[in-house]
A and B are shown apart, each in its own frame.
Chain A
Amino acid sequence: MVVAADIRSFLEEVSDPEIPVLTITDLGVVQQIYLQDQTWVVELTPTYSGCPAMQQIEEDILAKLREKGIANAKVKHILSPAWTTDWISEEGRQKLRLYGIAPPVNEPDKSALFSEPPRVSCPKCNSKDTRMVSLFGSTACKAHYQCNACQEPFDYFKCLK
């Protein structure tokens, strides 16, 4: 007999298509898992509205469950409560750092114009002497930074609250 906790542990094997070192459970996008009318429902919260990875994640979830012998499953997208970067697990943050992406830090109020960009430590050399190159990076969830100490460019996973 399969229970929801089994399904959740299977989903720990599904990685984020954009950032493959992160699993979707690290990312915090998997919400409730329950059985409804003989079908397993996996609730999924999008990170950004237009994130193209969400469809891939849905397909990967269903493929993983099929591989585990569960054919009667579906993914339900839920918007509320809205996903926040606070839901990325501590383990996920560590994995991001090792992968070369600076994890989100608490940011000042976004309504302030020309505010100082968040102080982000370089994921390569740990220096705090870094600068933001662009608020918009390679994907909607990332900003582009450069380290002044080791000169390495790197991605910063933007804080979304």
Chain B
Amino acid sequence: MQQSALFEYVLRMSDDSLILSQRLSEWCGHGPILEEDIALTNISLDLLGQAISLYDLAGELEGAGRNHDQLAYLRYENEYKNVLLVEQPNGDFAMTILRQFFFDAFRLPLYEALMQSPIEQLAAIAAKSVKETRYHLKHTSEWVIRMGDGTEESHRRAQDAIDHLWRYTNELFYENEIDQTLQTEGKVPSLATIHTQWLNTVSEVLNEATLQIPANNWKFDGGREGRHSEHMGYLLSDLQYMQRAYPNMEW
């Protein structure tokens, strides 16, 4: 039971990283400027690398002989446990940056806390990834401020993105019995604490950007239980195409 709770926990993190990486990679060759095209794909690559380490750990914990490729490519939609936020379409540049900003502001304190985890391999992945995530959060925070405090149009687009994505942010802090088990054992941090840190970062940056946190508190969840938005199936058909068409292929 303990191993399977930890497997599920690591799988959630792996899926968040993989699916967001896949979304960002869609920008490759389409960035609004060359530097930003490269930045988005660099971040995508970092997330993919983190996903590989996390999937390998998940595979070890599961003990069923599945490696990162099998976990990433050969599961069905309802077996993915990522939050709905990361599977949402790229939209315009503001939507992509805000989605990434909300995620980075969550991942950074999570990794910082997991560096203290007694699960050695998880702490090692966190220590490695925290350095990369700091770059990501700095980059997205600066863009949020530039857009929010920029022109009338960039402000409007950034605020629209916040208004649209806000409903997906609460799920980042979704907890069920798996979290409770692992928290009681002192293996993972409480997400309530991470939520407070997240809200501090988000409030600070949005305030600086002259953007508003929406009053509407309508929230979605389901991703952590394998219930996804309609976009997920299309994303997976792209992601899994090569493995499904040519089983066991390797680069």
Contact = CB atoms under 8 A, between A and B. Distances in A.
Interface residues of B, number: 32
Nearest to A158: B135
Describe A's contact surface by its main secondary structure.
Answer: loop
B128 A140 contact: no
A157 B139 CA distance: 17
Interface stretch (B40-48, B163-171, B217-225): B40-48
A48 B124 contact: no
Interface string B117-131: 000110111011101
A79 B125 contact: yes
Interface in B128-144: 128-129, 131-132, 134-135, 138-139, 141-142
B127 A135 contact: no
Interface string A112-155: 01100000000000000000011111111000100000000000
B172 interface: no
A79 B132 CA distance: 14
Contact of A82 (B131, B138, B208): B131
A85 B215 CA distance: 44
Given A136-B39, A161-B131, A110 B124 contact: no
A2 to B, nearest CB: 30
Contacts of A140: 42, 45-46, 132
A114 B121 CA distance: 34
A136 B46 contact: no
Interface string A71-115: 000000011111100000000000000000000000000110110
Contacts of B134: 110-111
A52 B131 CA distance: 18
Contact of B139 (A48, A133, A135, A161): A135
A46 interface: yes
Contacts of B131: 82, 160-161
B38 A46 contact: no
15 contacts: A49-B132, A50-B48, A79-B121, A79-B124, A79-B127, A80-B120, A80-B124, A82-B124, A82-B127, A82-B128, A134-B35, A134-B39, A135-B39, A160-B131, A161-B131
Given A82-B131, A113-B141, 5 more contacts: A48-B132, A50-B50, A83-B128, A134-B35, A137-B38
